[in-house]
Structure 1
Amino acid sequence: MTKPSRTYRSELRTEQAAATRRRILEAAGACFAESGYGRTTQAAIAARAGVSVESVKAQGPKRDLLLAAFEQAFTGQEGRQPLAEQDQLAAAFAIENDDAFLDTGLEFMAAANRRAYALWRALTSAADSDAEIAPVLDGILARRRKDIESAVGLIQRRGLLAAGVRVRRRVAAELSFLLSPEGYQQLVAESGRSHREYLDWIRSMVRATLERMEP
C-alpha cells in the first residue's frame, strides 16, 4: 500500500482544522447565546466543543470568536461576503417566479434570525462594553443596510416596486426593521409565537410594504 501523498495529508489536515473550527464556533455561539459575552469563558467553550482550552485559544481572542460565531450562525458559513453571494439567497435571486422568489428569500432570513437572534443580542451587548467590538458591529450594520438595499434594487428591477433611489432607501429601511433579529426575539422568544407564525407575519408585512409602493 502506498503512503498518502503530501498533498493528501495536507488537505486532510486542512479539512480537520476547518471541522474543529466550525465545532468550536458552534460551541462558542451556544455559550454566548446562553451566558452572554462577559460570562462566557474559553474553558466553557472548550468543554462544550470537546476540545482543549489551547485549541480554543488558537482560534483567536474571545471577541473574534463572538463575531465569527455570529457570522456562521446567521449565514451558515463564516465570512463577511455579501448576503447575495450566499448559496441559498443566490438561488432565490435566480428564481423566475416572483412569489417563489420572495418566499425563498424570506425563508432564508427567518431561518437566519432563528439561528442568530440570541447571538445578536450578545453581540450588541458586548459592543457596549468592548471598544474593539463596537466598530465591528457598526460595520455589520452597514453591510446589512447595503445588503438590503441591494435586494430592494433587485425587487425594483423585477418590476415589483417603483424605481428610484428614494423609494429604494425608504423600503430598505422598512425591511431592515421588519427582518431584524430583534423582531424575531420579540415575537418568537418573548411573545411565544411559533417560527411558522413569524414567517407568515414577515411575508404579509413585506408584501404590504411593497404593495403600498407599487410601480
Structure 2
Amino acid sequence: MTPDTSARAYRSELRAKQARGTRRRIVEAAARLFAERGYQATTLTAIARDAGVSTETVKTAAPKAELLIAAFEVVFAGEESAQSLTDTEVGSGILDLPDELLLDAVVGQIAVANARGHALWTVLLGAAASDPVVDTALQAILARRAEDYRRLVGELIARGYAPAVTDPHATAAVLSFLLSPESYQQLVAQSGWSSERYVAWLRGAVLAELAR
C-alpha cells in the first residue's frame, strides 16, 4: 500500500469511526428523551440539542421512527439490528454455559435488560398504534423474540430442564410473556417489587412452566 493510499484509508476509517460515534450519541439522546417525554412530544431538535449536534445531523442519521427503534434496541440489547439476542451483550455466551448455570443466566440477563428497556418498550408499543413504520419494526422485533424463545426452549429441553414439555412452541410463547419488559413494568416499576424479588419470581415462574 502506497503512502497516499494508506493516508486515504486512515482518513476514511477515522471518518467512519466519528460517524459511528455521532450516531451513537444521537441514539442515546433519543433514548433518554423518548423515555422521559414519550414519542409524540420528543422532537428531532430536542434530540439534536441533547446529543450536541445540529438538527440536520439528526435528520441525516435517521427518521424519528427509526431513532425510536434504534433507541430501544441499544438500551435493551446493547446494539442495533441484531437478528438474535445471542448476537448481543444480553445473550452473548449464554449457550456456552454449563447446564447448571444456563437458566439462572438467562433469567438474570433478561431481567437486567428489562430494567433498562421497559420504559422505551412502553413508548414503542404506544407509537406503533399510530405510526406504521414503528408498527412494522415492532412486528419484526416480536418475530425475532418468538424465534429466540423457541430456540431457548429447544436448548432447555436438550439440557434436561423441561422433560414434560410436549408443545415447545406453546412453552416458548409463555416464556416470551413471562420474560417480557411488560412483566418488569408491572411488577417492579408499578408495583414496587425489588429487583431481587422480580428475578426470584421469574425463575420460579419459568421453572413452573417447564414442569407442566
Q: Give the alignment's TM-score, normalised by structure 1.
A: 0.90
2:135 aligned residue: 134
1:108 aligned residue: 109
Larger CA deviation: 132-141 vs 41-50: 132-141
Query: For residues 180 and 190 of structure 1, what CA distance do their matches in structure 2 show?
Result: 15
Identity across the alignment (%): 47
3-state SS of paired residue (1:37)? coil
2:8 aligned residue: 6
Mapping of residues 51-200 of structure 1, within 5 Å: 51-98=53-100, 100-162=101-163, 166-200=166-200
Equivalent residues of 2:90, 2:113 under 8 A apart = no
Query: For residues 190 and 176 of structure 1, what CA distance do their matches in structure 2 show?
Result: 20
Q: What is the CA distance between 1:55 and its match in structure 2?
A: 1.5
Larger CA deviation: 87-96 vs 119-128: 87-96
Query: For residues 5 and 196 of structure 1, what CA distance do their matches in structure 2 show?
Result: 53
3-state SS of paired residue (2:80)? coil
* Paired letter, 2:43: T
3-state SS of paired residue (2:39)? coil
RMSD: 1.8
Q: What is the CA distance between 1:51 and its match in structure 2?
A: 1.6
Q: What is the CA distance between 1:190 and its match in structure 2?
A: 0.8
Query: For residues 202 and 52 of structure 2, what CA distance do their matches in structure 1 show?
Result: 38
Equivalent residues of 2:86, 2:94 under 8 A apart = no
Q: What is the CA distance between 1:73 and its match in structure 2?
A: 1.1
1:43 and 2:45 aligned: yes
Gaps of 5+ in 1: none
**Aligned pairs, number:** 209
Q: What is the CA distance between 1:90 and its match in structure 2?
A: 3.5
Query: For residues 147 and 79 of structure 2, what CA distance do their matches in structure 1 show?
Result: 19
